[in-house]
A and B are shown apart, each in its own frame.
Chain A
Amino acid sequence: MAFARIMRLMRRELDGWRLAGLGWAAVLLLPFLFIFSAWFAEPNEQWLQIRAYLLKDYVAGTVRLTVLTGLLTALLGVSLAWLVAAHDFPLRRFFRWALLLPLAIPPYIAAYTYSNMLSYTGVVQKTLRGLGIEVSQKWLAFGSMRGALFSFVFFLYPYVYLIARTFMERQCASWVENARLLGARPLTVFFRVALPMARPAVAGGVALVVYEVLGDYGVTSYFGVRTLTTGIFQTWFGMYDVESAMRLASWLMAAVVGLFFLERWLRRGRRYGVSGRSRPIALTRLRGIAAALAFAFCFLVFALGFLIPVLQLIAWAFLSFEDVWKPRFWRWTLNTVAVAMVAAFAVTAISLVVANVCRRRTALNQLLARWVTAGYAMPGAVIAIGILAVFIELDRLLAPFYAAAGWGERPLLLSTSVAMLVLGYVIRFTATGYNSVEAGYEGIGSRFTESARLLGHGRTRTFFRVEMPLLRGSIAVGFLLTFVEICKELPLALLLRPFNFETLATQTYRYAKDEQIILAALPSLLVIAVSLLSVAVLHAAERRMER
């Protein structure tokens, strides 16, 4: 009897959609299995060296950087969120969204822009010298840890700011007002009510920042900070030692998995929320010096995080326009757009399949959805090394076929193709597309699907005739956000691109690395312009929710 029932379940559940979803989940497993397989191989000599002399530095650098960045972004993001969510001061409405703009500037672009502005020949020192002021180099040195921290904190804080502000604006009103009525002073309200309540939201935002930092290569390598990610790059590019790179990657992966569970644990059972319609907090009007200080603080962050670097880049772009605006610039743009389009398309398709399969919230479905989107937390370098290992192995397995087809003895066909890069992007950014599609499915509910089924349409026809048209908006948003993320991405592109294949991001990085900062301005501005799209989408989505 039980057997018959299991067969019935299989026949009913295992249709093309689910098989496709499960198949993709299995493909995703491969790179990570390969990385873990490194543990079982005999360590080579280089690994022993790395372990003896470098590993401690890598781990210490990673920990120091992530902890400090996490703390500082939390501080900056939360204080701005509280200021904007609960207070009224000049230009508050402008800052409310303008403080999101730094998100459009990838930290690596910020890093070389600032470090050049502050260098001996940069605009800051030149101006100061022009005014006859000599400043010690020590004060302006924008290197190493200090520079990296600045680049992360001022360009990643919007993750925390956005989540915390949204939470405070929507959820905190009645508690905050009650606390005020009970006579609590402003600071007490913040520390005793708003902050503890927003803690789960803040933890979510900080987690996003930390994943970014762990995955970063652009900033850390520019400033020469030793982290696990830069270590992976060094062993792979410097020593061509995939095995040791995989070992490092497995360390990094362990760290990320640990963090992932830490975040869940921190948020366990702490989802404060009010049911029903929420309303915004009554704003406290700031006056006099307080208002001026609030304005100055917001303006300073906005200027440092957006205005100054963008103005500087525009100035450099004018200087270097002739040298950069050439056919090859179009080739980089075309490369970027083409790869990003293909990958974003794949992400959208995968998201639709998995979200459709996972509409019923069973434990197994939840696991599938989590697994397919887990790439957002994985550092690009880890994904890249995993994919590389898989593709090299594939080429090895396929070598007889290549030979039979007359393509030479052992050509590296797959492992030098752009397919690797696309796959990397897809694994890394599926979450971006998935979240949007999933929200869309939640929005339309299951009634329309059930109606269509009862009117004689199978799952696939129902999808194309009913769900697709209704999900149009969510699909477009998911596609766009994914596209933008891919255009900004650096580490995956550097590790997985085929020889001589440059994207805007890799070319920007190359110019910056070669001390041709001014030439990097134009591609940087293009990347920033594309990124502004996603900030605009975020802003529009929020506006719609408020209505």
Chain B
Amino acid sequence: MSFVEIRDLTFAYDRRQPPVIERFSLSVEKGEVLGILGPSGSGKSTLLRLIAGLEVPAAGAIDIAGKRVVDDRTFVPPEKRGVGMVFQDYALFPHLTVEQNVGFGLHRLPRKERRERVREALELVRMAGFEKRYPHELSGGQQQRAALARALAPNPDVLLMDEPFSNLDADLRVSIRDELAAILRQAGMTCLFVTHDREDVEAVCDRHIVMDAGKQRK
């Protein structure tokens, strides 16, 4: 029983241009960390945006945790999909502290539980003690971990990561890679991980696919 099921997905940014994703199918097991490799422009980021609900496919269907989120007649908006995402540039809200950023997706919880979840999430990524800092007061690696904590805090069904290491320098990259693998295992998270670096995949992922021109390369 697959946890994320994608069938015949097709998407084009512009109708006059060839599709970025073409009849793409994929299934991911629960708790699996799947690496998506491919050159730039191969449609891997677009795939994540389609799963997240930030773009609408021209055709095809996506199921997440047994629920249909998009097909020809359905469209579940991003805020109701139970999907977390870590962007390449982290997108931490500059006007909120680390604590407020991490608690941002927990608005439905009562205050006490919310504080508890924030603490847990920050401990998970080893960022306890940075609650009151603003994003611009953090280093690149710290920002990255805060963004991860923010995405994990609401306990999403699926975590999407779009080149999360591309803004880090090489040394940091190696250490954070191992950390991330541990964190994902610990949280039992189902994760789709987009990268163009084979080493990322080897360190973090259970299995990987390679995308090329909107299709899965065999």
User: Does A pair with B?
Assistant: yes
* Chain A contact residues, CB within 8 Å of chain B: 1, 4-5, 7-9, 11-12, 447-448, 450-458, 461, 465-466, 469-470
Identify B150's interface contact among A7, A8, A450, A455, CB under 8 A.
A455
Question: What CA separation (Å) do A452 and B106 show in the bound complex?
Answer: 11
Min CB distance A357 to B, Å, is 15
Q: A450-B87, A457-B104 are in contact. List 7 more A-B contacts (CB 8 A).
A: A453-B78, A454-B52, A454-B85, A455-B104, A455-B105, A456-B108, A466-B93
B73 x A453 contact (CB < 8 A): no
**Residue of chain B at shortest CB distance from A1:** B72
Question: What CA separation (Å) do A465 and B91 show in the bound complex?
Answer: 15
Say yes or no: A450-B93 contact (C-beta < 8 A), given A8-B73, A11-B75: no
Question: What CA separation (Å) do A455 and B93 show in the bound complex?
Answer: 12
A12 x B72 contact (CB < 8 A): no
Identify A12's interface contact among B52, B75, B104, B107, CB under 8 A.
B75
Q: Which 7 A-B pairs have the closest CB atoms?
A: A455-B105, A447-B91, A4-B73, A453-B78, A451-B91, A469-B95, A454-B85
Return chain B residues, CB-CB under 8 Å to A455. 79, 84, 104-105, 150-151, 154
Return chain A residues, CB-CB under 8 Å to B104. 452, 455, 457, 465
Min CB distance A4 to B, Å, is 4
**Interface residue? B188 (CB, 8 A):** no
Say yes or no: A458-B79 contact (C-beta < 8 A), given A4-B72, A8-B72, A8-B74: yes
Return chain A residues, CB-CB under 8 Å to B78. 450, 453-454
A447 x B89 contact (CB < 8 A): yes
Return chain B residues, CB-CB under 8 Å to A465. 104
Question: What CA separation (Å) do A26 and B12 show in the bound complex?
Answer: 31
Identify A453's interface contact among B74, B77, B93, B95, CB under 8 A.
B77
Min CB distance B52 to A, Å, is 6
**Residue of chain B at shortest CB distance from A2:** B72
A451 x B73 contact (CB < 8 A): no
Identify B79's interface contact among A1, A448, A453, CB under 8 A.
A453
**Interface residue? B54 (CB, 8 A):** yes
Question: What CA separation (Å) do A448 and B78 show in the bound complex?
Answer: 13
A450 x B77 contact (CB < 8 A): no
B93 x A451 contact (CB < 8 A): yes
**Residue of chain A at shortest CB distance from B78:** A453
**Residue of chain B at shortest CB distance from A4:** B73
Return chain B residues, CB-CB under 8 Å to A453. 53-54, 77-79
A12 x B77 contact (CB < 8 A): yes
B83 x A457 contact (CB < 8 A): no
- Give 22 A-B contacts (CB < 8 Å), ordered by A residue: A1-B72, A4-B72, A8-B56, A447-B89, A450-B52, A450-B54, A451-B85, A451-B93, A452-B93, A453-B77, A454-B54, A454-B151, A455-B79, A455-B105, A455-B151, A456-B80, A456-B154, A457-B104, A457-B107, A461-B107, A465-B104, A466-B93
**B window 53-99: CB within 8 A of A:** 53-54, 56, 72-75, 77-81, 83-85, 87, 89, 91, 93-95
Min CB distance A537 to B, Å, is 22
* Chain B contact residues, CB within 8 Å of chain A: 52-54, 56, 72-75, 77-81, 83-85, 87, 89, 91, 93-95, 104-105, 107-108, 150-151, 154
**Residue of chain B at shortest CB distance from A462:** B79
Question: What CA separation (Å) do A455 and B54 show in the bound complex?
Answer: 13
Question: What CA separation (Å) do A456 and B150 show in the bound complex?
Answer: 12
Say yes or no: A456-B107 contact (C-beta < 8 A), given A7-B73, A8-B73: yes
Return chain A residues, CB-CB under 8 Å to B151. 454-455
B91 x A450 contact (CB < 8 A): yes
Return chain A residues, CB-CB under 8 Å to B150. 451, 455
B72 x A451 contact (CB < 8 A): no
Min CB distance B70 to A, Å, is 9
Return chain A residues, CB-CB under 8 Å to B154. 455-456
Return chain A residues, CB-CB under 8 Å to B91. 447-448, 450-451
Identify B75's interface contact among A8, A452, A456, CB under 8 A.
A8
Question: What CA separation (Å) do A1 and B91 show in the bound complex?
Answer: 37
Say yes or no: A470-B73 contact (C-beta < 8 A), given A450-B78, A452-B104: no
A470 x B77 contact (CB < 8 A): no
B93 x A448 contact (CB < 8 A): yes
Min CB distance B8 to A, Å, is 14
Say yes or no: A454-B83 contact (C-beta < 8 A), given A5-B72, A7-B73, A8-B75: yes
Return chain B residues, CB-CB under 8 Å to A7. 73
Identify B95's interface contact among A4, A450, A470, CB under 8 A.
A470
Return chain A residues, CB-CB under 8 Å to B95. 469-470
**Residue of chain A at shortest CB distance from B160:** A454
Return chain A residues, CB-CB under 8 Å to B53. 453
Say yes or no: A456-B79 contact (C-beta < 8 A), given A4-B72, A8-B73, A12-B56: yes
Question: What CA separation (Å) do A147 and B151 show in the bound complex?
Answer: 66
Question: What CA separation (Å) do A455 and B75 show in the bound complex?
Answer: 17
Question: What CA separation (Å) do A4 and B211 show in the bound complex?
Answer: 30
Min CB distance B90 to A, Å, is 9
Question: What CA separation (Å) do A465 and B151 show in the bound complex?
Answer: 17
Question: What CA separation (Å) do A448 and B80 show in the bound complex?
Answer: 17
Return chain B residues, CB-CB under 8 Å to A452. 93, 104
Question: What CA separation (Å) do A156 and B93 show in the bound complex?
Answer: 42
Min CB distance B57 to A, Å, is 10
Return chain A residues, CB-CB under 8 Å to B74. 8
Return chain B residues, CB-CB under 8 Å to A9. 56
Return chain B residues, CB-CB under 8 Å to A454. 52, 54, 78-79, 81, 83-85, 105, 151
Min CB distance A456 to B, Å, is 5
Question: What CA separation (Å) do A480 and B91 show in the bound complex?
Answer: 30
Min CB distance B170 to A, Å, is 25
Return chain A residues, CB-CB under 8 Å to B80. 456
Return chain A residues, CB-CB under 8 Å to B84. 454-455
A456 x B105 contact (CB < 8 A): yes
A447 x B56 contact (CB < 8 A): no
Min CB distance B176 to A, Å, is 20
Question: What CA separation (Å) do A458 and B80 show in the bound complex?
Answer: 9
Question: What CA separation (Å) do A448 and B104 show in the bound complex?
Answer: 12
Return chain A residues, CB-CB under 8 Å to B79. 453-458
Identify A451's interface contact among B56, B87, B108, CB under 8 A.
B87
